[in-house]
Structure 1
Amino acid sequence: MRRNFIDTDAVNTAIAEELANLVPLLVPYRQPFENVLRRNLPQMRLGTRTLPRAGDPRWTHDRRAAGEPLFRLGQSGLLEARRLIRGFLFDMEELAALPPTAADGLGQRVARALAGVTHWKVAEGGRATLVQAMGQDALLEQVRRHVAHLDDDQPFTTPCVIRAGGLTGRRATTFHEITAIGREARNCLRYSVRNGVRDDDMDIWVIRRGPQLVAVASVFRERMIMELRGPGNSSCFRGVGHRLVTWIAASGLRVDGTVEISIADLLGVARNPVPTEDDVEAALTVRIAQTLDVFDDYL
């Protein structure tokens, strides 16, 4: 529903002021943007329902007499309108920055969308942004995903290889490599690790026995292993548990106290008498950090 803003002149002034400071990339779209903003801002849930006052324009009294609801932005509503305008311009800058040659036809779809921006219409005024309200958020999200992966082949850390216990551990150096590891290991690294690596200073190590993937380690700042998982996010390392402990001890990496390995995964290599697997409760585990201190006693 289009809202009758009593202070509509203030909205138009806000639009003009924001468009006066466009980045060069958006200057060619100044008039289409003005058109789409003037038409669609009144469709958003802005302002407070009110009655016309003595000093308000004549048309407001006529609309009220005709039974039409009136709204007044006031200071808070005008600030919210400016937030919507600026958010719209930031979103448009993301779209306009994508070259028309972008892969999979995305660049051409964006170019067509921008060419027709003056025809965009609000379908749901209760949405958080104008782009969402006008149903263009899916396209914007595709652009963001595309841009986020442009640097997937660029290294963000140096290579490192550690060999010990018959295992070889390699530190991943690119997002493309991490994604490939995630696909091979069938875990969440294939789609959700980017923010952790980029923002939290996290490294991913893949540990193999020959060509076989044995484990993937998430190593956070201060060289601390916070998570150790096998293929399919499994915590079972049957037949290689002792090798993993040896590798970790040789790597110099520290181990968080919550990282565990099953005793059953260690029993097969002990040379001194040890309890049989049947004597060990199925849920019994030992923390790797403790195992590093006592493992030599079992050999």
Structure 2
Amino acid sequence: MKLLRYGAAGAEKPGLLAADGTIRDLSSVVGDIDGAAVTPEALARIAAIDPITLPVVEKVERYGACVARPGKFLCIGLNYADHAAESGLPVPAEPVVFMKATSALSGPNDPVIQPRNSTKLDWEVELAFVIGTECRYVDEAAGQAAIAGYFVCNDVSERAFQLDRGGTWDKGKGCDSFGPIGPWLVTADEVGDPGDLSMWLEVNGHRYQDGSTRTMIFKPGFIVSYLSQFMSLQPGDIVTTGTPPGVGMGQKPPKYLSHGDRIRLGIQGLGEQEQVVVAPI
């Protein structure tokens, strides 16, 4: 299934992309696409419904973030061997973990807001997933089974905030609009092998990232197992898993985003996003 949220920011409704390409309103079935809607039991209830019986959404002006109100927005850094090489850093022995603020979440086609004093605004196409089953100290197999579905994430990053100003990475990762997710959440049963998906990102029509999850160091099931050793994971928690090479920081010379730049990105089977960079409010 492909689940989504549509409508004005703050007033999104839950929806489903049917096999015939129509969007169907799920409001009579679930209140939102959130932690309560991505448990195995809730997904089974949605899957049992014939989409034809649901109202058609005639026109979608905007897609919202495909998961609402996550308790955590967890991220794995340097998780592609070729991206670590591009960054001039060794392949990590264990996953590099950081967090984005949940307020960074935005719709897949919402503008990217360049923060005040930003000088090194960067892009990262990433495979993300949402937890469907609570996890504590789980093994890799249970970790894989706990994933409800996958989606595209642009891990927008401000490298000067992240790397040049001391402390942790978080302040360069959690600015408003730095977490576009969607356009839809594709349930795990429909994705197949998340370790074999092509992924790409373009800026102003030029393709900078053209990679695959095949070069991922730590796979999704292992990531869930690893994280569960340090914190419990609840349904609705989001995890994004790192990026292949081709980020702006890795260009020679480095290239960063500025107002008016247009970003397009996508992952095989998970859809595409498009954002325009705008000035801060």
Query: Could you state the TM-score of these two structures normalised by the residue count of structure 1?
Result: 0.19
Q: Which has the higher helix share?
A: 1
Which protein has the larger Cα radius of gyration, Structure 1 or Structure 2?
Answer: 1
Of structures 1 and 2, the one scoring higher in RCO (CA 8 A, sep 6+) is: 2
Query: Could you state the TM-score of these two structures normalised by the residue count of structure 2?
Result: 0.19
